[in-house]
Structure formats: structure tokens, C-alpha cells
């Protein structure tokens, strides 16, 4: 079985006041909050960056201490941390729970790190790439006068930009106004 890393961060181990303040605010709100802590090396020194906006950062392969993702758990004013498990990493990458993972911790991380998130690529393909390809193809057919004239024609940048603008406008109408992910309130879950 995998030994979980768990530390009490009540003393604070953040070099940045901003990141320390984020954790203190989450603890002061009461209730529960889950965030992610990323360790990065800047100018030869390790720094911790924390976020509570529900977004997980890039999953990296387990090379060096700065690549493992740490989960920050805040409950009833107490702050604890643990490493993200390989199964949790697989879920973030869109793999079903039935997806086989190696039994060793680092091997499981290696299987998921620096990979492509299949559901995200599928969404981009369905909602952007395929419609853009159809739009460019249709524009090319119109410009050249028929299917026989389409060969070798590259879609113009202008056509792609016009399509992207229409997609943005349609998305804005469907979704409505968007709020900020990090509002600074106690609505972190």
C-alpha cells in the first residue's frame, strides 16, 4: 500500500505572503475547502503556489520533488496536505476508474504525467477544430467555385479569425456573463 504524505501546515511553510494568505483565508472561512499546491523551482529555490479555484494544474512526471501535485485540505480551520494519488491523477486526465494503473506510486504518476487530456481534446475537436475545418472548406469552395477547384487551397487566416469570432459570440450568448473563479469569498468547496 502507498504511504500518504500528510503534513500539518498550521505553522505555514510558504515563501510568498499571497499564498500563505490564501491558505489562512480558506482556514478562516470554516467548513471545508480543497485546493492544490504546486512546488516550483525559481532561481534555485523551491516555492509553493496554492490555489482554491477548482482548477488542477498540469500533471507532470515524477522527476524531482517539484513535479508531484499536492492536495491541500482545509477543514474546520485545520490545514493538511497529501500527495495526489495516481488514481486521482488518472481521473483528472479523463481516465475511467477501470483504467489499469501500475501498482508503484511513481509508475502510476509516470503513466499520467505530461499526457494529453482526452476529454479536453475531444471537446476541442468537436466544438472548434471540426467546425473550423468545415467552415474553411466551405469558404475555399466558394472562393474557387466548386469542389474540383478545392485541391491545394489553404484556408485563409481571415476565414479562421472570422469563424473564431462567431464561435466566441455564440458561446457568450449561450453561457451568459462569466464570474471570476477566485472571488476571495468563502465559497470554496
pLDDT tens per residue across span 68-96: 788 999 998 888 999 999 999 999 999 99
Would the pLDDT of 151 be above 50? no
pLDDT at 11: 44
Of the candidate ranges 4-13, 31-40, 57-66, the one whose mean pLDDT is the lowest: 4-13
End-to-end CA distance of the chain: 29
Quick check: 41 and 49 in contact, CB under 8 A?
no
Pick among 2.60.450, 3.40.640, 3.90.120, 3.10.290: CATH of 7-112: 3.90.120
Where are the chain's structural domains?
7-112, 118-172
- Residues 128-141: tens digit of each pLDDT: 888 887 877 776 65
Residues 107, 86: Cα–Cα separation, whole Å = 9
Quick check: 24 and 68 in contact, CB under 8 A?
no
Share of the chain above pLDDT 70, in %: 66
Residue with cell 502510476: 108
Amino acid at each position: 500500500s502507498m504511504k500518504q504524505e500528510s503534513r500539518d501546515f498550521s505553522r505555514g511553510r510558504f515563501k510568498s505572503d499571497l499564498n500563505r494568505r490564501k491558505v489562512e483565508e480558506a482556514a478562516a472561512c470554516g467548513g471545508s475547502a480543497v485546493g492544490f499546491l504546486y512546488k516550483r523551482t525559481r532561481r534555485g529555490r523551491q516555492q509553493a503556489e496554492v490555489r482554491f479555484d477548482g482548477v488542477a494544474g498540469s500533471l507532470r512526471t515524477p522527476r524531482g520533488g517539484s513535479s508531484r501535485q499536492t492536495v491541500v485540505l482545509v477543514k474546520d480551520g485545520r490545514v493538511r496536505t497529501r500527495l495526489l494519488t495516481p488514481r486521482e491523477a488518472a481521473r483528472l486526465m479523463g481516465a475511467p476508474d477501470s483504467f489499469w494503473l501500475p501498482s508503484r506510486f511513481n509508475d502510476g504518476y509516470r503513466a499520467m504525467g505530461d499526457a494529453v487530456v482526452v476529454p479536453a481534446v475531444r471537446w476541442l475537436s468537436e466544438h472548434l477544430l471540426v467546425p473550423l475545418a468545415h467552415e474553411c472548406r466551405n469558404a475555399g469552395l466558394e472562393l474557387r467555385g466548386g469542389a474540383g477547384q478545392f485541391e491545394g487551397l489553404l484556408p485563409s487566416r481571415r476565414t479562421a479569425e472570422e469563424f473564431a469570432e462567431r464561435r466566441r459570440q455564440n458561446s457568450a450568448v449561450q453561457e451568459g456573463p462569466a464570474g471570476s473563479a477566485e472571488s476571495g469569498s468563502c465559497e470554496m468547496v
